[in-house]
Amino acid sequence: MASNGNNHVSTKPPPEPSPLRKAKFFQANMRILVTGGAGFIGSHLVDKLMENEKNEVIVADNYFTGSKDNLKKWIGHPRFELIRHDVTEPLLIEVDQIYHLACPASPIFYKYNPVKTIKTNVIGTLNMLGLAKRTGARSEPSSLCTYYLVLGNVGPLSHHLFLVQNRILLTSTSEVYGDPLVHPQDETYWGNVNPIGVRSCYDEGKRVAETLMFDYHRQHGIEIRIARIFNTYGPRMNIDDGRVVSNFIAQAIRDEPLTVQLPGTQTRSFCYVSDMVNGLMRLMDGENTGPINIGNPGEFTMLELAENVKELINPEVKIITVENTPDDPRQRKPDITKAKELLGWEPKVKLRDGLPLMEEDFRDRLGISRKK
């Protein structure tokens, strides 16, 4: 309380508390590495990260499945850097966060060079964990991992110091569950995986990557996050990458029959890419190590998916059946209870809303207009 000289007493309300008081981690500028950032999910993640003007984003990609075209709007931007780099080789840069997405996720690509695929999963993850260890992604404060920022005039927080800790996020996969005997799959399920099949380079490679993440966490105190991502679809998918949604949409646009692998009753759950990116960022910025399933629990048989694509994109195409590939899981559906409860995340985009957005992107790249 204070007098204004005329014996009137005025009161000054207390200052509003800064929202930074609730933030455990705060840093004015974040240098964020995205491995595989020229790929499908990675490039959408880059778009979202670049929306924050405090972020500097570095992409490392060998362009095996990724493309510069996915990042063309950021090339030359002062807060963006693109490095042609294979994660099986060490990378010596300074970063605050690592989103480790690098690995071919399509059966066509990872079966093309299975040895390279498992090296990417194992050696690539080792190299990124080594980078995280060197740059200070520790779960306990230490002189190697603590960044201090003196804040300016932020009311009651003036002259306070904030601890910033680095961390690494691995995009693992629902393939760690193999051909599951539990349905839907939650994170406690250890899986049913063939260790010597044609898909094993990817499935087992991701399982080893998860092991390495937790071993570095336990042995070196590295701040880790593990997302088990389920089938994802949307713009920028490789048109002929062999995954079912891209196959069906490309076939429908080209007036080709939709080829459903037998028996057609096998199920998958499809998450739109914007929902996936939001889930990954919530996991990275939250306080839960994981693993956490990120996916859409809406479940469709392959025949149901084909019928949806036919109805929405090209009602004139036929649906035919073809032989299946070895070790194809019979069912796949995420239990996202942990994502809901721990991250406050769940998908928003329904399949019938997302498919037309993907169709538009595919038509643009294929140069095929919709029939009138």
Q: How far apart are CA 264 and CA 270, in angstroms?
A: 16
If one counts every other C-beta atom within 10 angstroms of the C-beta of residue 214, the result is: 15
Which member of 99, 177, 202, 216 is catalytic? 202
Upstream peptide bond of 263 is cis (omega within 30 degrees of 0): yes
Q: How far apart are CA 73 and CA 55, in angstroms?
A: 16
Tokens for 146, please give them: 């603590």
CB 210 within 8 A of CB 176: yes
- Chain position carrying tokens 């007493």: 9
Please, which contacts does 81-84 make with residues 24 or more away whose CB atoms are closer than 8 Å?
Answer: 81/56, 81/57, 82/37, 82/38, 82/58, 83/58, 83/59
Tokens for 154, please give them: 């932020």
Residue 367 CA from chain centroid, whole number: 29
Tell me if residue 189 is catalytic: no
Catalytic residues: 202
